[in-house]
Amino acid sequence: MTLLQVSNLTIEDRLGTALVDGVTLSVDRGEILGLVGESGSGKTLACRAMMRLLPGDGLAIRGGEIRLNGADVLAYDDKRMMAVRGREIGMIFQNPASHLNPVMTIGKQIAEGRRWHFGASRREARQQAIELLRQVGIPDPARRVDNYPHEFSGGMRQRAMIAVALACEPKLLIADEPTTALDVTVQMQVLHLLRDLRDRLGLAVILITHDLGVVAQTCDRIAVMYAGRLCETGGKRQVLGAPRHPYTRGLIECQPSSDGGVGRMVTIQGQPPLAQRFPAGCRFHPRCGRATTECTSIQPEMRVDPGTDNHAAACHHAVSVTNRGMVHGQ
Amino acid sequence: MTAIQGFAAFRRRVLPRESTLTAGIVILSAWLLVALFCPWLAPYDPIAQDPSATLLPPNPAHPFGSDNFGRDILSRVMWGARIDLQICLIGVAFPFLLGTVIGAVSGYVGGVVDTLLMRLIDIVLAFPFLVLMLAIIAILGPGLGSFYIAMAMVGWVSYARLVRSQVLTLKHRDFVLAARSLGYSHGRILFFHLLPNALTSSLVFAMSDCVLVLLSGASVSYLGLGVQPPVAEWGVMVAEGQSFITTAWWITTFPGLAIVVLAMGFSFLADGLGDKWGARP
Amino acid sequence: MHRFRFVLWRPIQLLPVLFGISVLVFVMVRSIPGDPARILLGVRSTPQAIARIRAQYGLDEPLWLQYFYFLRNLMNGEMGKSIIYRVDTLKLIDSRIQPTIFLVLGSVLLAVLIALPLATGAARYRGRLADHAIRLISTIGLGLPAFWLAIMVILLFSISLGWFPVSGYGSDWAERLHHLFLPCLTVALALSAVLTRNLRASLLMELQNDYVTAARARGLSENRIFWRHVMPNSLIPTINLLAVNIGWLIGGTVVIESVFAIPGLGQLLVKAIISRDYMVVQGVVLVFALATVAVNLIADLLTVALDPRVKL
């Protein structure tokens, strides 16, 4: 059942450059969607738009639709939007150290959501804060509840931030690079926690990351973004196992293989374009080995591969399941 | 264009950052011109008494009125600009030079010298600014010279701290290491390579410090411990007019306004330069 | 645990500063040219009195020993006699300290009451007309000479409107409050300019922080975010600013007490300087310096209480 449906979302800056251009996404209940892309690809911006919290000024949603449980979120007034934020959609961030208030105890910050959204009493909220800390795996939560953020380690801070978000009981959690700033072992624990929460609470998660390894371990479906546009969406196995868009293929080849394979690291040549200098046609064409004149002028549409249920790619030369062998032979 | 849009455009063009700098420069240049040309601009002699024209309210002959000795307030305010601008310039220059040299050496040399100088700064800062100045003036005896000496002895600490912290951060930058590898002497590195880079924020601070010095100089003179009557200085004028406040408000009001406007000029200049150079002390 | 150690440790760290203050005050009075005994006792002193003070302060001994005499006398609460008032300096200070304390406290209170709403308004309506107006007013406020502002305030509230007395202190509490309001207001107007500018800047800085975005993402209202998250974080530097300004504030009261003829320490200091009553000058300067150190200590401890991140 679809929880959040984003259609044709377009976000422009003051100069009218489309930093996010016609993005269509959906998340089901209890599903983990991985949103993958390099920094500057617009993935964070798209998710901020879902909460109508675009950073800085001059950025605005210029087109498209965001439907939460079928209701048009873009039509909400500020008051109704406040009831969506936290309560319907929660958010956690890359750097928990700066996203937690340094002079408020962890417990108070968790309790604040209970008191604000559910009108819990001070004592109830505190008990629930301790319970939430236990749920996210903080040892000795009854004592830790009175600690300040700087007294927590990096991994514990991320857990605490998850607890702060969970306190509002959201249906959807947007996790913006939640593990990038953490050690590898702690990364694993946090990702495991997210999956665990999905299983126990039926939470839907949008996991923003540039790390395909994280996606492979955690997600059910994947959406890949490049320069503000979507290039490929589909099930995890489909996208990672049989990528149809050249950019996705490049990304997969860039990942250092986990078995420590020999061979040299493959990289995608060139740099992602700056927002002011997005190329015409397919935005990936200057870096694409298969680009033709068609690619330099005509923007490719997202097309579902006929051989699959919903594996879509925006490429004039998208690899189809049926003709894969041919391309491999090129 | 609606009236609101018109107003918004006016505000965008007239009020923001750069205009602060412009306002400061305009106000200060105006006072500078008055101070330079007051012998020709002022309608009367600032200390000439006129028994036939005492305590006159503002009128065409005396736009700012006259005081109990029949002296013209406008002329005295204009001549006062000379003294008060001089107070600002000299009162800032000495602490600036002293503090910059001490702070630069302290930060560059480090070690025991630095520790001792920092302790000294702590001790000077433990005294209320004006109180310490008054105490020094008490020893030296009232007068403008004592004020300048007291100002230098008390005011250098702010500059020393600013310059020291700048030198400390710049000390390990590449260009300093490069200069050292070229075999330049420490003095040369400190005063020709480091200091010019460290001076921006203390220059901005000096502009805002002018306000503090102006107010201190006027306050000390008001208390009878700085500039002595009958010299036309704004603080002295306020003090002289105070006994006539119920009958002749103009004697105190205009010199005070002069202080406010001059201080505004320095504040605007400091804010404007701070925004322009990105240096906020 | 370690934060409590700070509470004990901080005063000990102040000992060198206290030592420096005493040396500076000692050196100051000794550097006046002339016979110190005559300087301390005034011109019309008797030979017996001069002999007594020579013995008490060890004026015939070397300078470093004189300093120890000075320190010993200080420890015994001996600050010498005022040549004008003919009483012990300490007694004199004791009888004059109350108005000054109330003046300082009242000014800080009023200044905070003025600056808090102004800074809040300016920060929350950043870039709008209200912000520009508040910034302009506070910039002008920075350059207001306290003595002149005091006279203007007297002109308006005492002479024209007749709401408050022109000068003096009063004998009972209601009267004192009545007398102190205008002096407090004068100092507060000048102080609130500094406070407003700094609080606005620190509020704007805090509003940029990530935890504000995170709080918005939790659906908290702008009001709650501002008062519960941004304000506590901004007040910490502001408390330090107040402490740094206490010296400036005391300087302001010196002038203001002279304008309003309030029988406080500031007025005492100015009169003592003019009449060369050096024992009193020395005593008042010492008290003011100790008060400044004490206020800064309190601010340090307050910061420790408010900011959990403060390290030793």
Which residue among A83, A99, A116 places its CB closest to the CB of C211?
Answer: A99
Is C4 a domain residue?
A: no
Residue of higher predicted confidence among C117 and B67? C117
Per-chain mean pLDDT for chain B? 83
- Distances, alpha carbon A183 to alpha carbons A154, A156, A179, A206, in Å: 9, 12, 8, 21
Which pLDDT band, with edges at 50, 70 and 90, does B149 fall under?
Answer: very high
H/E segment holding residue A221: strand A221-226
pLDDT number for residue B99: 92
- B81, pLDDT greater than 80: yes
- Structural domain harbouring C21: 13-75
- Residues C131 and C65 reside in one and the same domain: no
Mutation pick from C126, C205, C213, C218 vs chain A, by most beta carbons of A within 10 Å, is C218
CA distance A207 to chain C (A): 16
Decide if B219 and C147 are in contact by the 8 Å CB cutoff. yes
Using pLDDT thresholds of 50, 70 and 90, give the confidence band for residue B156.
very high
Give dist(CA C99, CA C115) in Å, integer: 24
- Position A265 scores a pLDDT of 54
Per-window interface: B 127-186 vs C, CB < 8 A:
127-132, 134-139, 142
Average pLDDT, chain C: 83
Collapsed DSSP state (helix, strand, coil) of residue A1: coil
Return the number of other C-beta atoms located less than 10 Å from residue B88's C-beta: 25
> Residue C16 and residue B268: Cβ atoms within 8 Å?
no
Locate the chain B residue with the closest alpha carbon to C160.
B246
Is the pLDDT at B82 greater than 70, yes or no? yes
Confidence check: pLDDT of C57 > 70: yes
Establish if C311 belongs to a structural domain.
Answer: no
Q: State whether A86 and C211 contact (CB < 8 Å).
A: no
What is the strand order of the sheet A204-209 is part of? Answer: A89-92, A172-176, A204-209, A32-36, A221-226, A229-235, A312-313, A303-304
Among chain C, residues having any CB pair with chain A shorter than 8 Å are 209-211, 213-221, 224, 228-229, 232-233, 236, 306-309
- Asked whether the beta carbons of residue C218 and residue A168 sit closer than 8 angstroms, the reply is yes
Q: Taking CB atoms and an 8 Å limit, are A51 and C217 in contact across chains?
A: yes
C-proximal residues of A, 307-326, CB under 8 Å: none
Residues with Cβ within 8 Å of C32's Cβ and at least 6 positions away in sequence, in order, are B139, C39, C278
Give contacts of B130 with chain C, Cβ < 8 Å.
Answer: 248, 250-252, 254-255
**Closest approach of C177 to chain B, Cα-based (Å):** 24
Query: A80, A103, A115: best mutation site toward chain C, by most C Cβ within 10 Å?
Result: A103
pLDDT at residue B97, as a whole number: 92
Residues C242 and C272 in one domain: yes
For residue B262, name the pLDDT band (cuts at 50, 70, 90): very high
Which of A209, A214, A207, A225 is CA-nearest to residue A258?
A214
SS (H, E, C) chain B: CCHHHHHHHHHHHHCCHHHHHHHHHHHHHHHHHHHHHHHHHCCCCCCCCCHHHCCCCCCCCCCCCECCCCCEHHHHHHHHHHHHHHHHHHHHHHHHHHHHHHHHHHHHHCHHHHHHHHHHHHHHHHCCHHHHHHHHHHHHCCCHHHHHHHHHHHHHHHHHHHHHHHHHHHCCCHHHHHHHHCCCCHHHHHHHHHHHHHHHHHHHHHHHHHHHHHHHHHHHHHCCCCCCCCCCCHHHHHHHHHHHCCCCCHHHHHHHHHHHHHHHHHHHHHHHHHHHHCCCC
Give yes or no for A115 touching C (CB within 8 A): no
List the domain boundaries for chain B.
17-38+72-277
Q: Is chain A touching chain B, with at least 3 CB–CB pairs below 8 Å? A: no
Which chain B residue lies closest to C201 (C-alpha atoms)?
Answer: B280
The answer on C138 and C19 residing in a single domain is no
The verdict on C99 and C67 lying in the same domain is: no
What residues of A are in contact with residue C216 (Cβ under 8 Å)? 53, 85
Specify if C44 maps to a domain. yes
Helical H segments across chain C, by residue range: 2-13, 15-30, 36-41, 47-57, 63-75, 89-124, 129-142, 146-153, 173-207, 210-217, 222-224, 231-244, 246-260, 265-274, 278-306
**Cβ–Cβ contact B229 with C under 8 A:** no
Instruction: For strands A204-209 and A172-176, give the pairing.
Output: parallel
Overall fold of domain B17-38+72-277: MetI-like fold (1.10.3720)
Class of domain A2-88+170-329: alpha beta
Please identify every stretch of chain A with a pLDDT value under 50, giving residue numbers as ranges: 324-330
The number of domains in chain C is 2
Is B87 in CB contact (< 8 Å) with chain C?
no
Sheet with A18-28: strands ordered across? A18-28, A2-12, A60-68, A71-72
pLDDT for position B16: 47
Contact C20 B119 (CB under 8 A): yes
Mean pLDDT, range B101-119, rounded to an integer: 87
Instruction: Mutation target for B interface from C13, C129, C147: give the one with most B CBs within 10 A.
Output: C147
Separation of alpha carbons C253 and C105, rounded Å: 11
* Domain boundaries along the sequence of chain A: 2-88+170-329, 102-167
Minimal Cα–Cα distance from A149 to chain C, Å?
9
How many Å lie between the alpha carbon of A56 and the closest alpha carbon of chain C? 9
B263 touches chain C (CB under 8 A): yes
Decide if C114 is inside a domain.
Answer: yes
For C252, what's the count of Cα atoms within 13 Å in the CB-facing half-sphere? 30
* pLDDT reported for residue B15: 47
Domain membership of residue C6 (yes or no) is: no
Interface predicted TM-score (ipTM): 0.82
**Which candidate from A53, A83, A98 shows the least CB-CB separation from C210?**
A98
Site from C211, C216, C220, C233 to mutate, A interface, most A CB atoms within 10 angstroms: C211
| C276 in the same domain as C137 | yes
User: Taking a C-beta distance cutoff of 8 angstroms, is the pair A11, A183 a contact?
Assistant: no
Q: C112 lies in a domain?
A: yes
Euclidean distance between CA atoms A56 and A13, whole angstroms:
10
Does C243 map to a domain?
yes
| pTM of this structure | 0.81
Provide the token pair at A12.
């422009």
pLDDT value at B9 more than 60: no
Which other chains touch chain A, taking contact as 3+ CB pairs less than 8 Å apart?
C
Contacts of A112 in chain C (CB under 8 A): 218, 220, 228
Per-residue confidence (pLDDT) for residue A329, from 0 to 100 = 35
Cross-chain Cβ contact C218/A150 below 8 Å: no
Mean pLDDT of B76-103: 91
C240: Cα within 13 Å, side-chain hemisphere? 13
> CB-CB: which of B142, B238, B246 is closest to C159?
B246
pLDDT, position B93: 93
Alpha-carbon distance A71 to nearest alpha carbon in chain C (angstroms): 18
